[in-house]
Structure 1
Amino acid sequence: MSNREVECRGAGSAGACSGPVTTGAPVPLCDRHLAVAHDWVDEAHGVVDLADEPCPACGSFLAVRYPSGRACGTCEWRFGDVIDSELPAPRVDVVYYLRFDGRIKIGTSSNPRQRLSRLWHDELLAFERGDRRVEHARHVQFAACRLASTEWFDRSPELEAHVAELSAGQPDPWQAYARWMSAALALRV
């Protein structure tokens, strides 16, 4: 049976719709009810778009448009909110995981862009929100594969699983950092 032979399952104020289901539709709805569902999804989840200007919090041009306004698609800062430039920049401490050759470095910084620019590495694997206490806990947790008394570790299944867990759903660590900075900025506005 083709979709054109099935009646739409949408309903309105007049009752059930008897229109034909749109060919190839993932749900049995007519064109009109598919458009209504599309508009509802746009309002509920936003529409990804390009911004006219960079986000004041993270610099991204990716935006999400909602009926109530636009937000940055990277850090979720609401366009139109003003950052108070007289306040000091917020501090967001992170534990970073870098790969260089077959080793992984676990370190911490409150200014990761500056810190990572000074370190030889092949790849930034992940960020974890935290300060020296979290860094120390990770050094203890993965002590079995630690190289002497450095911040470098041999790769191990446990360490790689931890890094994979941190980066799950967030392939770009800088996007997570941008969200954390945006949240810190929002708290001080």
Structure 2
Amino acid sequence: MPPSPPCLVVGCVGVAEPDAPIALCAWHLAVSADWSAAHEGVTDVLPTPCLVCGSRLGVRWPSGWLCAVCEWRHGEPLDDELPAPRVDVVYYLRFDDRVKIGTTAHPRRRLAAIWHDELLAFEPGDRLVERRRHALFATERFGRTEWFRRSPALDAHIAGLSAGVDDPWARYARWVSEAIARRG
């Protein structure tokens, strides 16, 4: 194995770390990592979950932690006087072999009032999006209700909404935290 090259820093007599992406000695690598962390932040697990959105992912800065999702400064109290932002969603619920397509701005309260077997997906949207979905799947609709027969087209639509999503509630929490972040 060839000897390590010298450190690129002028005047340094150290040798470059063999697996370093840039020919720097261990000390200069550490200094550059510290500089980068101070200017770019370091993504890591928050000490405790974010009080705003529940995320565990944060960015550590020399001045403290920020939630990586909603940018709440870890350790700051929440302003209880501000109302929660309104986030309208279209929801897809399964009961037996049927699917309900509805909308709400308060999904926990609404879904608690509806008998269902499984929450399949959420989609951002209000009554307009809900009406579009009802029209899109009109051939599967039970009368004038919000309940639909399962079909390949409806199943494909729901699969597209839930692709890469293990928990629809986590996605909803992210939308709420993004709305809080946009509000400032």
> 1:158 aligns to what SS in structure 2?
helix
Q: Which residue of 1 aligns with 2:56?
A: 62
CA distance in structure 1 between the partners assigned to 2:93 and 2:67 by the alignment: 27
Structure 2 residue runs of 5 or longer lacking an equivalent are none
8 Å contact kept, 1:47–1:66: yes
CA distance in structure 2 between the partners assigned to 1:8 and 1:64 by the alignment: 36
CA distance in structure 2 between the partners assigned to 1:161 and 1:79 by the alignment: 39
**Aligned positions of 1:30-41 closer than 5 A:** none
CA distance in structure 2 between the partners assigned to 1:130 and 1:98 by the alignment: 16
8 Å contact kept, 1:8–1:18: yes
CA distance in structure 2 between the partners assigned to 1:175 and 1:167 by the alignment: 12
Which residue among 79, 87, 107 is the counterpart of 1:84?
79
Cα 1:6–1:144 shift into 2, 3 Å: farther
TM-score (structure 2 length as normaliser): 0.72
8 Å contact kept, 1:55–1:77: no
8 Å contact kept, 2:46–2:65: no
Which runs of 4 or more aligned residues in structure 1 lie more than 3 Å from their structure 2 counterparts after TM superposition?
Answer: 5-9, 11-14, 17-22, 35-41, 80-84
Which residue among 143, 153, 168 is the counterpart of 2:163?
168
TM-score (structure 1 length as normaliser): 0.71
**C-alpha deviation, 1:129, in angstroms:** 0.8
CA distance in structure 1 between the partners assigned to 2:16 and 2:181 by the alignment: 49
Q: Which has the larger radius of gyration?
A: 2
Structure 1 residue runs of 5 or longer lacking an equivalent are none
Count the aligned residue pairs: 174
**Aligned positions of 1:176-187 closer than 5 A:** 176-187=171-182
